[in-house]
Structure 1
Amino acid sequence: MDKKIQVAAIVVAIVFSALVLTSPTDPIPLPLPNSNSENDFVTILAKNLDKPRAIAVSNDRIFVTEKDGMIKVIQNNTLLESPLATLRGADVFDGGLLGIALHPNFSNNHYMYVFLTYEEGDNLWNKILRITESENKLQNAEIILDKIPGSSFTNGGFLKFGPDEKLYVGTGTISDASHSPQDLDSLSGKILRLNDDGTIPDDNPFPNSLVYSLGFRNPQGMTWDDNGNFFVAEFGPEKNDEINLIQAGKNYGWPEEQCSGDKIFEDALLCYDPSIEPGGILFYSGDSIDFESSFIMASMRAANLYQLDFEEGLSSQKSILSGIGRVRDVVQGPDGSLYVITSNTDGKGFPDSMDDKLLRILK
């Protein structure tokens, strides 16, 4: 995993994807652009979602956050009419209700965690709420972490439980001119690691600090491979999107460095120039779908769900799903299927009459 891959010219990637999409050996027959049709491989589980941001899947339900504050529930392949919760967040371009994660023991304790941007006076902040739900209704909500510096454009906001059952959180910088990502006393531009109640784990790399690693601009998707290696996708400033292998206590350079160059910072594994806007990422571990490469990446600007192999580089990057516009997040379900949300109503896309959608890739 120490091989750095520079991914140049997204035009090349798009042309390559076009070739793959027409290949008779494609694992998934893809819907046509702006098509409302379904097939045996891809089904639409929910439509007309409003600025969806993240997905969490339990054994019997799917939860989707919407930027404007709702947690939607899909049960028995049906979008429930009433949201689980409606939270009041800041009305800013890239803030509001963002990430969601379910506790590893969700089936018993019914804890879910969300990342929310809010406004206080003239300041923007982010906080993490632990919600207790019962029968698709909010029973209790408590703030477990507050006063994460907020921004109109770069809040990060993805959060996931790791294999160690700690909660990992990606936070963005307050502006591209800010050096707070390099400040250990700031929660801005960091990967944070929390106990499930928001307290500091004893084995965090910096004493009495939630900071796990530093030097980030706008972290997005998070995932772990079968060996416990931790990866994060990150937006760059119009270019230099990164996929990084995250290690405890390491510095990933922002704003002093983008992608690579200075030995005092960690080099990115992948660097995309121009930007593709990576979203959710995962290492596929099921056996329901026959992927050539296990690393799966949602892409908004390149409007694809990709698979790729770090060692083989750009030649291995192939489209799994296209023709649905911007792809925001992807997660794996307990049965090995994939769940995907589009992001066409976020102000950057071109929504059709059914957007945004939650889709399931079955095989």
Structure 2
Amino acid sequence: MKIRRGEMLAVMTAAMLVLAACTPSPGSAPVGTDPEPSPEVIAEELDVPWSIAFHEGIALVSERDSGRVAELGDDGAVREVAVIDDVTAAGEGGLLGLAVLDGDVYTYFTAADGNRIERRAILGAAGALALGPPTTVIDGIPAAGNHNGGRIAFGPDGMLYVAVGDAGDRDSAQDLDALSGKILRLTPDGAVPDDNPFEGSPVYSYGHRNPQGIAWDDEGTMYASEFGQDTWDELNVIEAGGNYGWPVVEGVADDGDHIDPVQQWAPSDASPSGIAVVDGRIVIANLRGERLRVVPLDDLATASEWFRGGYGRLRDAVVAPDGSLWVLTNNTDGRGDPADGDDRILRLGVG
């Protein structure tokens, strides 16, 4: 069979496009072979969802722009629990991270006077939850139209860890007297733990641009995802007192003065937000990259990619009480292309 020159060029072009799509960006991790699971949609039509946390098996979801905390029923119904009145939603600011401890929900949000964390008692039972009055855990965290960080989580030591962006003030990330560009460590009441690396300071690590994911493995090792600027997004292993370089360096510096990331990716392939550790893997939700990146704990130099472009922008990944992985899409945040039913919660039975 004779193939015409135009047809040959079309075939070659298609092959080159496929090869480009499958080739990692220079400096990024080799692509692994972890098989992609089949997701189940368990909730739909959320409004810019940002974080998921669980209270006695009940999923609570934050919505950035509406300031709403919602609960998810077993049937997928979404019910409003409360609206945080002081939320000022603008740009990337609004109601961001949620965390739950001992019957209280902690909320990280942007207010008129900056970012703050409040604690409220969770009242009632499934299907009729409510929140009590707020107690301020920490305030005075710098806020801006972007780089607010916003992820909060309780570590295996029972302390509250807070991912804080540089709020557009690059140099503040290296200033140990500033809260911006840091990961903070607090007691559940907001006090500074006696064993923090800098005496009297909530700062746990510094030199961060815009960290938005924190998680721990079974050995207690802490991991964090971070948005870079133009060159590299990062996955870091977090050490107490560690300097992660921003704005002096972005990505791997190999200079002995800063802690290098264990992986880095071009922002167009990543923009990593929430992360989770499940079944021997770090799972990273990516916004611009529109994929889950899956890093095996026993080989931090490699990664597999799931759902590349299949569900659009992905904001959070969290392990549910039953061991499944829940993922938030984020296509209604003004930067995505919402499909019918967006935004969604996907459930993955990984193993």
In the superposition, the TM-score normalised over structure 2's length comes to 0.85
Instruction: Say yes or no: does 1:266 pair with 2:259.
Output: yes
Letter in 2 for 1:114: T
Q: By how many angstroms is 1:13 displaced?
A: 8.4
Structure-2 change in CA distance of 1:131 and 1:247 (3 Å): same
Q: Do the aligned partners of 1:129 and 1:145 also contact (CA within 8 Å) in 2? A: yes
| Alignment deviations for residues 249-296 of structure 1 (CA, whole Å, 9 cap, x no partner) | 1111111111122321111111112441111112214xxxxxxx6121
Partner of 2:22: 15
Q: Do the aligned partners of 2:291 and 2:305 also contact (CA within 8 Å) in 1? A: no
Secondary structure class of the residue paired with 2:109: strand
Q: By how many angstroms is 1:152 displaced?
A: 0.6
Instruction: Say yes or no: does 1:328 pair with 2:315.
Output: yes
| Alignment deviations for residues 71-95 of structure 1 (CA, whole Å, 9 cap, x no partner) | 1110224334333333332231100
Letter in 2 for 1:245: V
Partner of 2:8: none
Total equivalences in the alignment: 318
| Alignment deviations for residues 31-50 of structure 1 (CA, whole Å, 9 cap, x no partner) | xxxxxxxxxxx322221111
Partner of 1:97: 95
CA distance in 1, matches of 2:115, 2:108: 7
Partner of 1:50: 47
Higher-Rg structure is: 2
Partner of 1:28: 37
Letter in 1 for 2:107: V
Letter in 1 for 2:45: N
Structure-2 change in CA distance of 1:309 and 1:148 (3 Å): same
Q: Structure 2 matches for 1:160-239, cutoff 5 A?
A: 160-175=153-168, 178-239=170-231
Structure-2 change in CA distance of 1:157 and 1:14 (3 Å): farther
| Alignment deviations for residues 74-122 of structure 1 (CA, whole Å, 9 cap, x no partner) | 022433433333333223110010001111x3xxxx21111011123xx
Structure-2 change in CA distance of 1:117 and 1:81 (3 Å): same
Residue 148 of structure 1, aligned match among 141, 153, 178: 141
Q: Do the aligned partners of 1:224 and 1:283 also contact (CA within 8 Å) in 2? A: yes
Q: By how many angstroms is 1:321 displaced?
A: 7.0
Structure-2 change in CA distance of 1:199 and 1:15 (3 Å): same
Structure-2 change in CA distance of 1:246 and 1:313 (3 Å): closer
Letter in 2 for 1:359: L
Deviates more, 1:51-60 or 1:185-194: 51-60
Deviates more, 1:197-206 or 1:264-273: 264-273
Structure-2 change in CA distance of 1:79 and 1:250 (3 Å): same
Q: Do the aligned partners of 1:281 and 1:297 also contact (CA within 8 Å) in 2? A: yes
Q: Do the aligned partners of 1:236 and 1:242 also contact (CA within 8 Å) in 2? A: yes
Q: By how many angstroms is 1:16 displaced?
A: 5.8
Partner of 1:60: 57
Partner of 1:4: none
Q: Do the aligned partners of 1:87 and 1:97 also contact (CA within 8 Å) in 2? A: no
Instruction: Say yes or no: does 1:244 pair with 2:223.
Output: no
Q: By how many angstroms is 1:348 displaced?
A: 1.1
